[in-house]
């Protein structure tokens, strides 16, 4: 069974809150990928953000962690705050196909993801 993980960064601004997402086949999705070998889901997220995207993960603050279902896929979703989103961070994200999109444009994403704060223990043994 392939374990997947997803992440986003919340960016509160005067104009409204935006979220770090990727666009796949014309639809916005949270940044998601397969959990790295010999890594926890959180360690995988931090590694990818640091080494592939180029974000200083020491500046991230974990805002929330939930189990989510997107379509038929179950993922651990990590939501971060960042101390300061600047043009350097935006550019690093864009090079990896990640963008900060206003929440007002993400209704489809929010409606498509079912979130649970309780783990599905019966599925953990599979």
- Dump pLDDT digits (tens) for 25-49: 888 999 999 999 999 999 999 999 9
Where do the domains of the chain lie?
Answer: 4-118
Q: What is the CATH number of domain 4-118?
A: 3.90.79.10
Is the pLDDT reported for residue 122 higher than 50?
A: no
Measure the CA–CA gap between 89 and 74, rounded to whole angstroms: 28
Measure the CA–CA gap between 67 and 82, rounded to whole angstroms: 21
Which of the given ranges, 2-16, 85-99, 105-119, has the highest pLDDT on average?
Answer: 85-99
Averaged pLDDT for residues 85-105: 94
What confidence category does residue 118 fall into, taking pLDDT thresholds of 50, 70 and 90? low
| Cβ neighbours for 33, distance < 8 A, ≥ 6 positions apart | 4, 5, 44, 48
Averaged pLDDT for residues 83-105: 93
Single pTM value for the model: 0.85
């Amino acid at each position: 069974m392939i374990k997947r993980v997803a992440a986003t960064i919340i960016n509160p601004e005067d104009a409204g809150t935006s979220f770090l997402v990727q666009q796949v086949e014309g639809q916005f999705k949270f940044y998601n990928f397969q959990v790295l070998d010999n890594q926890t889901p959180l360690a995988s997220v931090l590694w990818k953000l640091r080494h592939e995207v180029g974000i200083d993960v020491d500046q991230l603050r974990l805002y929330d962690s939930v189990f989510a279902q997107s379509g038929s896929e179950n993922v651990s979703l990590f939501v971060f705050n960042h101390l300061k989103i600047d043009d350097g961070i935006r550019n690093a994200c864009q090079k990896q196909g990640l963008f900060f999109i206003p929440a007002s444009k993400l209704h489809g994403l929010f409606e498509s993801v079912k979130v649970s704060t309780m783990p599905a223990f019966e599925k953990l043994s599979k």
